[in-house]
A and B are shown apart, each in its own frame.
Chain A
């Protein structure tokens, strides 16, 4: 780690590596089905129950999980009066903009990747839809 930006990125990756690996694994499976198992353009019709189990619930869970990760939601007590942002980071010699900006940027990037993954692998153009 040679810069605060990399160190903050490493902190997210290291602390939540198993969760992030699980998310990546899920999308790997979905992408494999999309590109290797299904024929191009082949629609996949499934009932609402299967659609929820395979796509809606994992997507929603991933969204909430990433939101919690990048807002330090696992770092403190939700019921506490003070912020869950780690107090130790206020002592680091970086600007407030960096302390706030890098986590926001990484979180935004993660959400954008999640949205792209959902569009590419699950919704369009694979034709996976409920009926």
Chain B
């Protein structure tokens, strides 16, 4: 049995009268790409916040690398790279300052790799973060998430509202990350075709519940209609209905 990087067991979370997560269980093995899909408000970000230790489990348990991320944030977060839709970077910093600043927090920071990523993403080291375009800010966030060579890369709707070139960069980074043996990626998105391109395993969340979680090949095979293999979008609609399916993005 492969070692679990993330193990979520029977996790429930309520915000007032709203149940954001209802008895969610999830196990992520090392060295695979996990796609987390669902409509906006389905519970994806809430689940990710539990994995990152930003929310404490009300009931159930969350273990990352075998540790409680709330009790031991240093050991857990130093091994995670994280990029979110908000991509909350300090706008007043320059790109090179952001790199030096971030290096101080990650013992495993790789200067050579960081510089390689900066050049690959065509980021001007003297540019202020606030003056970067949205796509460039996403690239800067990705650089910070990757430069310490995390064992687990968490991407929470990283490409929402971005142009196809930046999306390609992000997907490329996912592929490069998993190319390093033993690295794991959790990729949350409502863009199902994107998830379909990179995920080995897909978990569908709807109204706080996991409605489907299996390897992508198994999902496709089990939903095959004659000789035709349906897309992930079609499979999602079949499970949760058209109204709940995520809207495609241009």
Interface residues of A (CB under 8 A from B): 1-4, 6-7, 10-11, 14-15, 86-88, 90-96
* Chain B neighbourhood of A88, CB < 8 A: 88-90
How many Å lie between the Cα of A90 and that of B78 in the bound state?
12
Interface residues of B (CB under 8 A from A): 52, 54, 73-78, 82, 88-90, 92-93, 97, 100-101, 103-106
Say whether B73 contacts A6, CB under 8 Å.
Answer: no
Q: Which of B52, B73, B106 contacts A95 (CB 8 A)?
A: B73
Q: Which of A3, A7, A91 contacts B77 (CB 8 A)?
A: A91
Given known contacts A93-B73, A95-B74, A1 and B104 CB-to-CB distance under 8 angstroms? yes
Dominant secondary structure at the A interface: helix
* Chain A neighbourhood of B89, CB < 8 A: 88
* Chain B neighbourhood of A96, CB < 8 A: 73
Say whether B101 contacts A93, CB under 8 Å.
Answer: no
* Chain A neighbourhood of B92, CB < 8 A: 14-15
Tell me the minimal C-beta distance from B56 to chain A in angstroms: 12
Total cross-chain contacts (CB, 8 A): 47
Other than the given A88-B88, A88-B90, 8 more pairs (CB < 8 A) read A1-B103, A1-B104, A6-B104, A10-B101, A93-B75, A93-B105, A93-B106, A94-B73
Given known contacts A14-B97, A15-B92, A96-B73, A90 and B104 CB-to-CB distance under 8 angstroms? no
* Chain B neighbourhood of A6, CB < 8 A: 104
Say whether A86 contacts B88, CB under 8 Å.
Answer: yes
Q: Which of A7, A10, A11, A91 contacts B82 (CB 8 A)?
A: A91
Say whether B105 contacts A4, CB under 8 Å.
Answer: yes
Say whether B52 contacts A1, CB under 8 Å.
Answer: no
Given known contacts A86-B90, A96-B73, A91 and B52 CB-to-CB distance under 8 angstroms? yes
* Chain B neighbourhood of A93, CB < 8 A: 73-78, 105-106
How many Å lie between the Cα of A110 and that of B30 in the bound state?
47
How many Å lie between the Cα of A3 and that of B109 in the bound state?
12
* Chain A neighbourhood of B82, CB < 8 A: 91
How many Å lie between the Cα of A92 and that of B54 in the bound state?
11
Say whether B100 contacts A1, CB under 8 Å.
Answer: yes
How many Å lie between the Cα of A40 and that of B101 in the bound state?
46
Tell me the minimal C-beta distance from B111 to chain A in angstroms: 13
Say whether A11 contacts B74, CB under 8 Å.
Answer: no
* Chain B neighbourhood of A87, CB < 8 A: 88
Tell me the minimal C-beta distance from A58 to chain B in angstroms: 25
Tell me the minimal C-beta distance from A32 to chain B in angstroms: 32
